[in-house]
Amino acid sequence: MKGFIFDLDGVLLSTDELHYQAWKRIADKVGIPFDRKDNDRLRGVSREASLEIILEKYDGQLSAAEKEDLCNEKNEYYKELLHTLNEDTIDPAVRDTLSFLRKEGYRLAVGSSSKNTKTILQRTKLADYFDAVSDGNNITKSKPDPEVFLKAAEYLFLKPEECFVVEDAEAGIDAAVAGGFCPIGIGPASRYRKTKFPIGKISELKEIAVKAEPQLQK
C-alpha cells in the first residue's frame, strides 16, 4: 500500500452542522420538513443528489432550472458559513496523523464530492498535507460511483489496489469497493459490513499504516 485517500467531511473535519443549516434554509423556503436525521442521508453524496433526496417530501414539481437555482442558493448559504472555519477547527489528532503518514512515505489525497473542498482545506490550513485533491469540480458522478477516488489515485500516480480510502459514509465505502480500493470506515461507516478496517478515531490509521509497509517512492 502506498497511498491514503481521505473523504473530507466527517473524516478530516465535520461541517455537518453547516450543511444542515444551509439545507434547512432551502427546505424551509420550499416548505419541506427537514431535520438532522434527514441530513444524515446526505452524507457523501453530491449537492444535486442531496436536493433530490430532500425533494422526496415535496408534493409539487420543480423544473431543472429551479432545482439548479436551489442548489446554487444552498451553496451560497454554505459558503457564507465556511467563514467560521479556521485552523482551530481541526482536531490536532488529524494533523498529527497526516504528518505521521507522510513521514512513513505514503502519498495523500482528498477525495470529496464537495466543490468547496479546496476552500475548506485552505481555510483550515490542511492543504499542504496533501499531494492531490479530487473533488466535485473534476467529476461527473457522485458516490457511490468510484470516480472521485479513481481520479485521486490517478493524481497520485497510484493504482486503486495500492490505496486505502478513509470514509465515514456507506456511499463512500461502496465507492471505494467498486473502485478496487481498500476501505477504512470511521464513524457510521465503521459499522458497515463492506468496511475492511473499522476504526474509532483517526489516530488508529497509524497502526494500519505501519502494518501495510509502503514502498517509498523516489
Catalytic residues: 7, 9
What is the spatial distance between Cα 19 and Cα 24, in angstroms, rounded to a whole number?
Answer: 8
What is the spatial distance between Cα 10 and Cα 43, in angstroms, rounded to a whole number?
Answer: 8
Q: In the sheet where 163-167 sits, what is the strand order?
A: 132-134, 107-111, 3-6, 163-167, 182-186, 197-199
- Using DSSP's 3-state secondary structure scheme, residue 128 falls into helix
CB atoms within 10 A of CB 120: 23
C-alpha cell at 109: 489525497
What is the spatial distance between Cα 150 and Cα 158, in angstroms, rounded to a whole number?
Answer: 9
